[in-house]
A and B are shown apart, each in its own frame.
Chain A
Amino acid sequence: MQTLSAYIDGIGLLGPGLTDWPSSRAILAGKQPYQAQPTILPLPALLAAAERRRSGALVRLTLATGLEATAAAGVDAASLPCVYTSSGGDGQNCHEICQTLASDDRHISPTRFHNSVHNAAAGYWSIATGAMTPISVLCAFDASFGAGLLEAITQVAADGTATLLTANDTPYPEPLHRVRPILDNFGIAMVLAPTAGPNSLAKIHVSLTSEAARKLDHPELEHLRLAIPAARSLPLLSALAQHEPTQVILDYFEHLRIAVDIAPC
């Protein structure tokens, strides 16, 4: 079985009751209680005023977590190729367009339309940071985090380049919420690098497996893991927070999962 390796040099995290990586670390390590509360989305300071005001949840998640991860890694965000993955697009924007198209006046705004592309948040990331590097923009429904992790680790392994992985999900409003219930906004970003650096948190070895995905002992965090596709990353984050050598199995597809061996630096 092929195993691919990378160093994790920085993490960004934003979700219900999780406001950033440093403060979430103690919660995920079980040293502090988890308190569920709606995700708080900061305004993206790097965007121009008009874009900042109009920015949707997905853009805010992507920028906040991406910048947190690159700052923690001590790297220039503009220098990194990026893997962007989301289990859907901007749900609110999609709803507004479908609603308009179902009405008597089908005039949709140009901004709504260009924000309808799955890569809109990735586009704003490159505009905000000035990154002219390649961005892979992916979707694999509930397997989206796993797909992003594989894309990022193959970039590190095949091309020997550091990469920013960012996985983000936002809820749909009704009526789509009923057929695709995503609990809340959740974003995770990680800088993966081919060699160890001064800020490396851990070395990971990634391979495919048929073993069952790891559940979280904490019932509320386990609920989160299942209720938001990007939160399928939580077992990995929890293991990183505990800072001990271990293996976690991450959810990907039915019968195909991702084994991550973690060696803290």
Chain B
Amino acid sequence: MKPLLLSHFTTTSCIGRGLDQTLEALRAGRSGLARCAFETVDLDTFIGEVAGLDAVQLPSHLATFDCRNNRLAQLTLEQDGFTAAVHAAAVKYGPQRVGIFIGTSTSGILQTEIAYRKRDPETGALPDDFHYSGMHNTFSVADFTRRYFDLTGPAVAVSSACSSSAKVFSSARRMMAAGLIDAAVVGGVDSLCLTTLYGFNSLGLTAAQSCRPYDASRDGISIGEGGAFALLEHAPEQLDNDAILLLGVGESSDAYHMSSPHPEGLGARMAMQAALDTAGLSPRDIDYINLHGTSTQSNDAAEGKAVTTIFGTDTPCSSTKGATGHTLGAAGGVEAVICALALRHSLLPAGINTRKLDPDIRLNYLLENRSQPLKRVMSNSFGFGGTNCSLIFGRAD
């Protein structure tokens, strides 16, 4: 594939608003996870909550989009000059030539959960201030983003569970390659809600403490919330040395089980290999892998097998979910931006919380930050329903 330029990017999660705070937290090895005190949830688990979302105010003409997910989207968009960059792209290419591709799994379902608690006792009707299309529907956050920027081109929500906002890069790449658009706002936003907290708990997959990816005694995930956005453009001939490029995308399906990965990581392996193939790279060209690393027994074991099959045991890797929590549909986007930060700042981020590596998974898993120049990195995202996506990012120099 032809490399695409990430001309601007930003992320907001429980470790910080925007790039500076995110980088600082990664450098300090700081986790944003804390004991769950969210809404009316009574579960004994740790979560990654973004502070201050209740105070975010949407523009008045977008009032029917007001829900936690779109507040998080707006808070994320407002960091690092991202809004100005998209407006400039809309002027440069025309508002119909900038596509919108946003990954989400929760959308604003929290608003529906609350609305169900407020049903009319007589009629069972949802309250009048509940707006299905702006709050509940999966497309809501993509529609919000589209209207926030006054863009009029193609727009879509990608919703393939935890691979959602990795797969947006693939959809955007194809539409740009096909010539329907010149640039794309890609990203992912997922916010805390009862469905995911009680749902993962029902599967026995939520950890009692902060999650410990790849640890011998890992016992489950910590659910987080987060947003991430990138502006994709065709790469010009002249690039800054530290320009960040999307070099490869690989996708596959497990065709195995709705909520368990293929035990040998077969689908994951296919996605990683496809990403290498589209980038025209071999495994030794990859300097760091940001693992999906959810911290469940089966996910980490399957991914570990897949990674060692392709890369052997030397390639440095880690999961940053010990810092951010698993931001579900936003994870691919958040971790893509972490990869871009790693490339730009020569930082191989350690996996936080992990102390004693699982001896059965033989990876070069980073327990401490490492500082060294990086040229190309891979980010893995694997979701329920067996949807897998691997991305490769690189520096222009």
**Contact code string A117-152 (vs B, CB < 8 Å = 1, else 0):** 111101110110111111111111101100100110
The answer to whether the Cβ of A52 comes within 8 Å of any Cβ in the partner chain is no
Among B157, B178, B266, B383, contact of A158 (Cβ-Cβ < 8 Å)? B178
Q: Is A36 an interface residue (CB 8 A)?
A: no
Which of B147-155, B223-231, B287-295 forms contacts with chain A?
A: B147-155
Residues of A within 8 A of B19 (CB): none
Partner of B143, one of A2, A131, A141: A141
Are A89 and B96 in contact, CB atoms less than 8 angstroms apart?
no
B160 CB contact (under 8 Å) in A129, A137, A179: A137
Given A4-B180, A135-B387, does the pair A178, B137 have CB atoms closer than 8 Å? no
Cβ B255 vs Cβ A138 within 8 A: no
A113: which B residues are within 8 A, CB to CB? 195, 198-200, 202-203
Q: Is the CB of A151 within 8 A of B156?
A: yes
Question: Which B positions have Cβ atoms within 8 angstroms of A?
Answer: 96, 105, 109, 112-113, 116-117, 119, 124-126, 130-133, 136-140, 142-143, 152-161, 164, 167, 170-171, 173-175, 177-180, 194-195, 198-200, 202-203, 251-259, 266-267, 270, 383-387
Which chain B residue has the least Cβ–Cβ distance from A118? B159
Q: Separation in Å of the B179 CB from the closest CB of chain A?
A: 4
* In the complex, residue of chain B having the shortest beta-carbon distance to the beta carbon of A97: B195
- Residues B139 and A129 in contact, CB atoms below 8 Å apart: no
Contact across chains for B157 and A138 when beta carbons are under 8 A apart: yes
Residue contact B152 to A256, C-beta cutoff 8 Å: yes
Contact string against B for A residues 149-176, beta-carbon threshold 8 Å, 1 for contact and 0 otherwise: 0110111011100000000000000111
Partner of B180, one of A101, A107, A137, A154: A154
CB-based contact A119/B199 at 8 Å: no
Also in contact, A119 and B116, with CB within 8 A (given A140-B142, A255-B152): no
A139-B157 in contact given A119-B385, A126-B255 (Cβ < 8 Å): yes
Q: In the complex, which residue of chain A has the Cβ closest to the Cβ of B179?
A: A2
Q: Is A75 an interface residue (CB 8 A)?
A: no
**CB-based nearest A residue for B328:** A117
CA distance A80 to B390 in the complex (A): 19
CB contact under 8 A between A107 and B202, given known A140-B157, A175-B119: yes
Among the listed A2, A140, A154, which residue makes an inter-chain contact with B139, where contact means beta carbons less than 8 Å apart? A140
Least CB distance, A59 to chain B, in whole angstroms: 10
**Further 17 A-B residue pairs, CB within 8 A, beyond A123-B253, A131-B253, A137-B159:** A87-B139, A89-B138, A99-B116, A102-B117, A114-B203, A114-B258, A124-B258, A138-B156, A140-B139, A144-B139, A154-B175, A157-B178, A159-B174, A174-B124, A175-B119, A180-B132, A253-B155
Q: 5 closest pairs, A vs B, by CB? A: A123-B385, A113-B199, A134-B251, A118-B159, A139-B138
Cβ–Cβ < 8 Å partners of A159 in chain B: 174
List 9 A-B residue pairs with CB atoms under 8 Å apart, sorted by A's residue number: A89-B138, A102-B119, A114-B203, A120-B385, A135-B387, A157-B178, A158-B175, A175-B124, A256-B154
For A139, the chain B residues whose CB sits under 8 A away are 137-139, 156-157, 159
Question: CA–CA, A110 to B201, complex, Å?
Answer: 9
Within the complex, what minimum Cβ distance (angstroms) separates B45 from chain A? 14
Decide yes or no: A102 and B138 within 8 Å by CB, A117-B161, A130-B255 being known contacts.
no
Interface string of A236-253 (1 = CB under 8 A from B): 000000000000000001
What CA separation (Å) do A113 and B116 show in the bound complex?
A: 17
Smallest beta-carbon distance A199→chain B, Å: 24
Report the nearest A residue to B203, measured CB to CB. Answer: A110
- A123 with B386: CB separation less than 8 A: yes
Q: Is B253 in contact with A179, judged by CB distance below 8 angstroms?
A: no
Chain A's nearest CB lies how many Å from the CB of B380? 15
Known: A99-B116, A150-B175. A119 touches B255 (CB 8 A): no
- Beta-carbon contact of B386 and A88 below 8 Å: no
The residue that B253 contacts in the complex, of A94, A132, A176, with Cβ under 8 A, is: A132
Closest to A147 in B: B156
Q: Name the distance in Å between A259's Cβ and chain B's nearest Cβ.
A: 12
Question: Which residue of B119, B125, B159 is within 8 Å of A119 (Cβ)?
Answer: B159
Chain A residues whose CB sits within 8 angstroms of the CB of B156 once the complex forms? 138-140, 147, 151
- CB–CB A136/B258 < 8 A: no
Closest residue of B by beta carbon distance from A208: B180
- Tell me if A98 is interfacial: C-beta within 8 Å of chain B: yes
Assembly CA distance A123 to B202 (angstroms): 20
Residue in B closest to A81 when the chains form the complex, CB atoms: B251
Q: Which residues of chain A are near B203, meaning CB under 8 Å?
A: 110, 113-114
CB-CB contacts of A95-114 with B at 8 A, as 1s and 0s?
Answer: 00111011000111110111
Question: How many angstroms from the CA of A95 to the CA of B251 in the assembled complex?
Answer: 31
Q: How far is the CA of A113 from the CA of B178 in the complex (A)?
A: 37
The answer to the question of A233 belonging to the interface, with a C-beta cut-off of 8 Å to chain B, is no
- Beta-carbon contacts under 8 Å, A204-219 to B: 208
Q: Is the CB of A122 within 8 A of B142?
A: no
Q: Write out the residue numbers on chain A whose beta carbons fall within 8 Å of the beta carbon of B270.
A: 132
A107: shortest Cβ distance to chain B, in Å?
A: 7
The residue from A114, A134, A141 contacting B133, defined by CB atoms under 8 A apart: A141
Which residue in chain B gives the minimum CB-CB distance to A85? Answer: B156
* Contact A136-B170, Cβ < 8 Å, known A108-B199, A119-B161: yes
Q: Are A119 and B126 interface neighbours, CB within 8 A? A: no
